[in-house]
DNA sequence: TCGTTTGTGTCAGTTTTCTGACACAAACGA
DNA sequence: TCGTTTGTGTCAGAAAACTGACACAAACGA
């Protein structure tokens, strides 16, 4: 059934391979983050805030690929533990811009280095042109998947 | 902090892009599977069984990137609903080989076609050599990530 | 051969994440 | 200008997935 063009051959499916790669990456990240007492979503949140200070809960959620409800749970914990701060009142509208505290920044430093080492390992054995090619290809996939999302 | 080589620049990170692509793929799959009343894990399980009949619970779990505990919950539901069968007693050892029922096979057919269409859409705009390149690159990433897993 | 390691199915409890819903604010277009 | 659409924070409950643990079977090596 799945050999004759209609189905999806797992052995040759780029979609399956993509999931496999993503899963391997996540596992590798979890492994290096666990000793630091940090989950992948936890790290993602801090990294996003370091690079784009003042992001709102909803924006962080999109950036970390979770729902805003989930991100809110995480943010409350991070706030309680003193890694991030949010104003008590929204400066404008309902949006609460979040920022890293010095403690959050310190905590992120080690994690960021650890994750960076994972990414370096992932890229080991790939030439510069191959990496550039990978970049273009993945972007193409994302664009194609999103384009067909609404229309069609 | 993350600009000077130690950190991870989200804009240029292949890891982030990989997660983004995987997330987009999952969302697209969920969208086409929802009308069929099927989740991605649900579908993955059936597809695995179609291509490799007799897979055990643990093997299915690995193939669908979840724990065997999670897969077991799913299998019980699928068995209850008549999509798969497992022998009451293990033919050898403790392993219970699972198989699709005709009903499971029928159910998979539509889902498989739907997922195939998503994959086709994802690959739209990519040339044949680019797809081959993507395949090699993703495999390289997986290998590199797994190699450093145990040693190092 | 036999001890160790690895793999498997399963029970129980917990955590994480999600869906649904609501009120409200900003952005946009007629 | 004002109605509609879109985005946001949040509450509550449900679903999905995970961790930890146990007994047992298979595979492997000394």
CB contact under 8 Å between B141 and A115, yes or no, is no
| Length A96 CA → C23 C1' (Å) | 17
pTM of structure: 0.92
Predicted pLDDT at A2: 30
Residue among A7, A19, A133 minimizing CB distance to B65: A19
CA distance to A11, A72, A140, per residue, from A108 (Å): 38, 19, 31
Predicted pLDDT at B92: 85
Residue indicated by tokens 């992120």: A108
Strand C lies under 7 A from the Cβ of residue A74: yes
The helix, strand and coil proportions of chain B, stated in percent and rounded to the nearest 5, come to 65, 5, 30
Instruction: Say how far apart CA B45 and CA A48 lie, in whole Å.
Output: 34
CB contact under 8 Å between B10 and A47, yes or no, is yes
Tell the burial category of A104 from Cβ atoms under 10 Å away from its Cβ (0-12, 13-18, 19+): buried
Predicted pLDDT at A56: 97
Predicted pLDDT at A83: 97
A53 in contact with B at a CB cutoff of 8 Å?
no
B139 in contact with A at a CB cutoff of 8 Å?
yes
At A48-82, the pLDDT tens digits run 999 999 999 999 999 999 999 999 999 999 999 99
Predicted pLDDT at A8: 75
At A127-143, the pLDDT tens digits run 999 999 999 999 999 99
Instruction: Say how far apart CA B44 and CA A135 lie, in whole Å.
Output: 27
Q: Are B60 and B10 in contact (CB under 8 A)?
A: no
Is the pLDDT reported for residue A4 higher than 60?
A: no
Diameter over CA atoms, chain B: 60
Instruction: Say how far apart CA B29 and CA B34 lie, in whole Å.
Output: 8
Q: Which residues of chain B have pLDDT under 50?
A: 1-5, 151-152
Which of 98-117 (B) contact A at CB < 8 A?
105, 108-109, 112-113, 115-116
Predicted pLDDT at B90: 79
Predicted pLDDT at A6: 57
Strand D CB-contacts below 7 Å = A 56-59, 68-69, 72, 90, 93-96; B 39-41, 65-67, 69-70, 73-74, 92-94
Residue indicated by tokens 């979840």: B66
Predicted pLDDT at B7: 62
Measure the CA angle with vertex A38, ends A47 and A96; round to 5°: 50
CA distance to A69, A75, B3, B37, B132, per residue, from A92 (Å): 21, 20, 30, 41, 50
Which of 60-79 (A) contact B at CB < 8 A?
63, 65
At A79-124, the pLDDT tens digits run 999 999 999 887 888 999 999 999 999 999 999 999 999 999 999 9
Predicted pLDDT at B150: 56
Which of 119-138 (B) contact A at CB < 8 A?
119, 121-126, 130-131, 133-135, 137-138
Residue among B1, B51, B142 minimizing CB distance to A10: B51
CA distance to A31, A56, B4, B96, per residue, from A60 (Å): 23, 6, 23, 43
CA dihedral B110, B31, B71, B50 (to 10 degrees): 20
Q: How far is A27 from chain B (nearest CA, A)?
A: 9
CB contact under 8 Å between B144 and A137, yes or no, is no
């Amino acid at each position: 059934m799945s050999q004759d063009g209609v189905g999806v051959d797992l052995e040759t499916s780029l979609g399956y391979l993509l999931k496999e790669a993503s899963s391997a990456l996540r596992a590798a990240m979890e492994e290096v983050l666990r000793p630091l007492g940090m989950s992948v979503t936890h790290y993602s949140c801090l990294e996003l805030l370091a690079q784009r200070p003042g992001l709102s809960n909803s924006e962080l959620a999109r950036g970390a690929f979770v729902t805003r409800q989930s991100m809110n749970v995480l943010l409350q914990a991070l706030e309680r533990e003193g890694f991030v701060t949010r104003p008590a009142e929204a400066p404008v509208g309902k949006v609460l811009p979040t920022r890293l505290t010095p403690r959050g920044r310190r905590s992120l430093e080690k994690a960021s280095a650890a994750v960076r080492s994972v990414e370096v390992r992932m890229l080991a054995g790939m030439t510069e042109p191959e990496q550039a090619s990978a970049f273009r290809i993945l972007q193409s996939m994302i664009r194609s998947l999103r384009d067909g999302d609404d229309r069609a």
